[in-house]
Chain A
Amino acid sequence: MRQSLLVDGSNEELLKAAAAGDQGAWDALVQRHTSLLWSIARSYRLGNADAADVVQTTWLRLVEHLDKIADPERVAGWLATTARRECIHLMRRTDRRGEATAEFDDLPDEGPELDAALLRDERDAELWRALARLDELCQRLLRVLTSDPPPAYADVAAALGMKVGSIGPTRGRCLDKLRALM
């Protein structure tokens, strides 16, 4: 990874510089948005290998479309939409692979339960386990909302295929449910 002077630049500046061949600007985009893409793949409960394929395919598609992004400032929304579609395609394919998936060691659902062991603080582990007991929509929303840096609601909406106006109210309801579980 190379440092770019543009590391704090706007998405539009970074995209423009990357399109002109600046690897540092590209890396700044990668650093800024990969957590969001990873959280989207995880929100669909994809295992490590499938989640990595979704994120990598999404970045490869952006490389391919660097000169064709209609609204460069909204590149995070473009990335989120691309990643969500990849997740949906991959899940449908996985459904149909049926028995064949059994030979992979990265089946979904390994996620939250096992990873709680990595949390030394028992209250954090409890919070992480409570998250895994929420309904699917709440799990998905909270997982994406907690990517780092904090995502804009417009990008969360793109990640979930929801209306932007419903993100705030749904967040409130999901956090209430989470508290009730603890």
Chain B
Amino acid sequence: MTDHQPTDGRPPDRADDELVARLRRVAARADPVPEALLAAASAAFGLRELDVRVAELVRDSAVGASATAVRGLGARMLSFEAADAVIECEVTTRGPRRDVIGQLVGAVATAVQVQVAGVPAVDVRVDSRGGFSIAGLPAGPFRLRCALADGSTLMTSWTAV
């Protein structure tokens, strides 16, 4: 890891390297990484779950659709998919809070929890058709942990809302 790296054509210039090094010192003082963020990143390791399946985010209305289609609608649709199950979520913004209405399709959950980094997981009630709702989720990354009837556990990939 060094600034002296081969480039095509223009050889790295000593004065350039010195200016970059000076900018690095200035950036470290003017815009340092917050200590709390390093602590949160360290603590993220404690949220590791072994032997779970991850439902990856495969569709996000905030990204895929055209701006005009989404603007004014208010809700953001997220689709998470695993091999045998789909979790659909509709996320609405309420200031710094998020409300989520969702449904698990293709599998039966015996228990669902919502997890936010740094806070204990909260139980979510699921109806007989796999529907659930979460009110007042804090903005930031969240995931759902679904204990399924077959004994396995399905988690949605961490997603910032």
A interface, CB within 8 angstroms of B: 1, 18, 23, 26-27, 30-31, 34-35, 38-39, 42, 48-49, 52-57, 59-61, 63-64, 66, 86, 89-90, 92-93, 95-98, 100, 103-104, 111-112, 115-116, 118-119, 124, 127-128, 131, 142-143, 145-153, 165, 167-169, 171-172, 175, 178-179
B132 near A: Cβ within 8 Å?
Answer: no
Q: Which segment of B5-13, B101-109, B121-129, B144-152 sits at the interface?
A: B5-13
Are A92 and B41 in touch, CB under 8 angstroms? no
Q: Considering residues A30, A111, A143, A165, which has the most beta carbons from chain B within 10 angstroms of its beta carbon?
A: A30
Q: Which one of A86, A96, A146, A172 contacts B24 once the chains associate, using CB atoms below 8 Å?
A: A146
The chain A residue sitting closest to B13, CB to CB, is A172
Interchain nearest-CB distance for A172 vs B (Å): 5
B1-29 contacts to A (CB < 8 Å): 1-3, 5-10, 12-13, 16, 19-20, 22-29
Q: Is the interface of B mostly helix, strand, loop or mixed?
A: mixed
Q: Apart from A63-B48, A92-B63, A119-B26, what 12 extra A-B contacts exist at CB < 8 Å?
A: A30-B38, A52-B36, A56-B141, A64-B158, A92-B62, A100-B93, A124-B29, A127-B26, A143-B27, A147-B27, A148-B28, A150-B1
CB contacts (< 8 Å) of A39 on chain B: these are: 27
CB contacts (< 8 Å) of B26 on chain A: these are: 119, 124, 127-128, 146
Are A98 and B157 in touch, CB under 8 angstroms? no
Are B20 and A60 in touch, CB under 8 angstroms? no
B95 near A: Cβ within 8 Å?
Answer: yes
CB contacts (< 8 Å) of A119 on chain B: these are: 26, 29-30
The number of chain B residues with a CB under 8 A from chain A is 59
Are B7 and A30 in touch, CB under 8 angstroms? no
What are 25 A-B interface contacts by the 8 Å CB criterion?
A30-B38, A53-B140, A53-B160, A55-B41, A56-B141, A60-B44, A61-B158, A64-B54, A64-B157, A90-B160, A93-B62, A116-B30, A118-B30, A128-B26, A142-B23, A145-B23, A146-B23, A148-B24, A150-B1, A150-B2, A168-B7, A168-B8, A172-B10, A172-B13, A179-B19
Bound Cα distance A132, B123 (Å): 46
The chain B residue sitting closest to A68, CB to CB, is B54
Interchain nearest-CB distance for B34 vs A (Å): 7
The chain A residue sitting closest to B141, CB to CB, is A57
Known contacts: A42-B31, A61-B157, A95-B67. The answer to whether A149 contacts B1 by CB under 8 A is yes
Bound Cα distance A48, B34 (Å): 9
Bound Cα distance A60, B71 (Å): 29
Enumerate the 7 nearest inter-chain pairs by beta-carbon distance, A residue then B residue, closest first: A168-B7, A60-B158, A146-B24, A26-B45, A115-B30, A93-B62, A59-B41
Bound Cα distance A119, B30 (Å): 6
CB contacts (< 8 Å) of A27 on chain B: these are: 42, 45
Bound Cα distance A45, B72 (Å): 25
